[in-house]
């Protein structure tokens, strides 16, 4: 495993982080058992992953806590999130504090390394920074969390407007940001600011449905071509990103997707989710490979660098009460 420093937190973290939500939820979302989910977490540990990202909304905090039982606490970085409801302008900060306390219990830990506000829209940011953050910073003084973070709501904020404000405020040590081969604008809109102000970045949406589900990419490109946003030749191609797969290039489109984001300046940790041990191993192997050939990367940027908000479909999550 390769390791890096997560922005100004000083935390030494694996460049690949196991996401415990998404469509899979460690396999729990696709019918796997809790024992299977624990196996995924422990398999990630065996491969050197030390950062784990969960949330109150995912329902995976208890299984993560059980999987990490017996692991030296200082050897892992636990990230979790307050409920979506804390972004409501009428939400009291006590809700976030209560969720933090519940997360500590369900994770079986005395502190959270990075406690994040979940899916904050640009419109909700003022409430987050003026009302919720001060309450959580008081909990930080009590030792319940080490660093405060914030995550964007990618489908509702494709221009990264919330993160652009958050990066400069000096409150948020970590931000979760969406970036992938067909949604590249964080390169100009977000990463320059997070790098300038030392905000650690957790990257989401590296793969998701657009690259992992057969037919989704082709359907997306057909729609984009109909709108004049990509060449018609891409829409007509049964393997539109096949140019990435060649000797000396990527082994697959998913391999290319992980390698593309992994080596982007400004990306600290690439989050990936899975409920399959073979996928776990292949995802990590991709993240540890060299960058894509420069010609392939340049072609991706030329073809898709102007696109915004493509491939940001998110799983439906039911926020927990509290």
Residue 93 in this model has a pLDDT that exceeds 80: yes
Asked if the structure places residue 230 within a domain, the reply is: no
Interval 120-163: pLDDT, tens: 999 999 999 999 999 999 999 999 999 999 999 999 999 999 99
% residues pLDDT > 70 (the chain): 97
Asked if the structure places residue 86 within a domain, the reply is: yes
Asked if the structure places residue 123 within a domain, the reply is: yes
Asked if the structure places residue 308 within a domain, the reply is: no
In this prediction, residue 127 carries a pLDDT of 94
What CATH number does the domain containing 96 carry? 3.20.20.100
In this prediction, residue 322 carries a pLDDT of 31
% residues pLDDT > 90 (the chain): 87
**8: burial class by Cβ within 10 Å (0-12, 13-18, 19+)?**
middle
For residue 171, the enclosing domain spans 11-213+253-288
How many whole angstroms separate alpha carbon 259 and alpha carbon 57? 29
The domain total for the chain is 1
> What is this structure's pTM?
0.93
Asked if the structure places residue 229 within a domain, the reply is: no
How many whole angstroms separate alpha carbon 292 and alpha carbon 314? 27
Asked if the structure places residue 157 within a domain, the reply is: yes
Contact at 8 Å (CB) between 264 and 9? no
For the chain, the average pLDDT equals: 94
Residue 299 in this model has a pLDDT that exceeds 80: yes
How many whole angstroms separate alpha carbon 58 and alpha carbon 29? 10
Mean pLDDT in residue range 264-277 = 95
Mean pLDDT in residue range 294-318 = 87
Spatial CA neighbour of 250 closest among 275, 214, 285, 215: 285
Asked if the structure places residue 90 within a domain, the reply is: yes
* b/e sequence 191-226, b meaning 16+ C-beta within 10 Å: bebbeebebbbbbbbbbbbbbeeeeebbebbeebbe
Interval 50-78: pLDDT, tens: 999 999 999 999 999 999 999 999 999 99
In this prediction, residue 86 carries a pLDDT of 84
Asked if the structure places residue 174 within a domain, the reply is: yes
């Amino acid at each position: 495993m390769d390791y890096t420093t997560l922005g100004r937190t000083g935390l030494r973290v694996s460049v690949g982080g196991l996401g415990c939500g998404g469509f899979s939820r460690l396999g729990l979302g696709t019918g796997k058992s809790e024992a299977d989910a624990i196996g995924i977490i422990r398999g990630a540990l065996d491969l050197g992953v030390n950062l784990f990202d969960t949330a109150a909304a995912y329902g995976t905090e208890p299984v993560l806590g059980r999987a990490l039982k017996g692991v030296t606490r200082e050897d892992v970085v636990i990230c979790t999130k307050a409920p979506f409801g804390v972004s409501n302008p009428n939400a009291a900060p006590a809700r976030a504090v209560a969720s933090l306390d519940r997360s500590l219990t369900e994770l079986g830990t005395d502190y959270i390394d990075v406690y994040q506000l979940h899916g904050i829209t640009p419109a909700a940011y003022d409430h987050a920074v003026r009302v919720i953050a001060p309450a959580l910073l008081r909990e930080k003084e009590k030792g319940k969390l080490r660093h405060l973070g914030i995550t964007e709501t990618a489908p509702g904020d494709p221009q990264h407007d919330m993160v652009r404000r958050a990066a400069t405020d000096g409150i948020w040590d970590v931000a979760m940001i969406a970036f992938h081969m067909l949604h590249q604008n964080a390169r100009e809109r977000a990463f320059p600011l997070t790098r300038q102000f030392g905000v650690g970045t957790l990257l989401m949406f590296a793969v998701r449905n657009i690259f992992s589900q057969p037919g989704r990419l082709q359907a997306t490109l057909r729609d984009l071509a109909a709108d004049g946003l990509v060449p018609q030749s891409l829409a007509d191609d049964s393997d539109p990103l096949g140019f990435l797969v060649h000797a000396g290039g990527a082994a697959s489109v998913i391999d290319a997707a992980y390698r593309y984001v992994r080596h982007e300046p400004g990306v600290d940790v690439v989050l990936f989710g899975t409920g399959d041990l073979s996928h776990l191993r292949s995802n990590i192997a991709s993240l540890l490979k060299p960058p894509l050939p420069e010609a392939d990367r340049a072609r991706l940027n030329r073809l898709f660098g102007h696109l915004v908000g493509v491939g940001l479909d998110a799983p439906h999550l039911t926020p927990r009460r509290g």
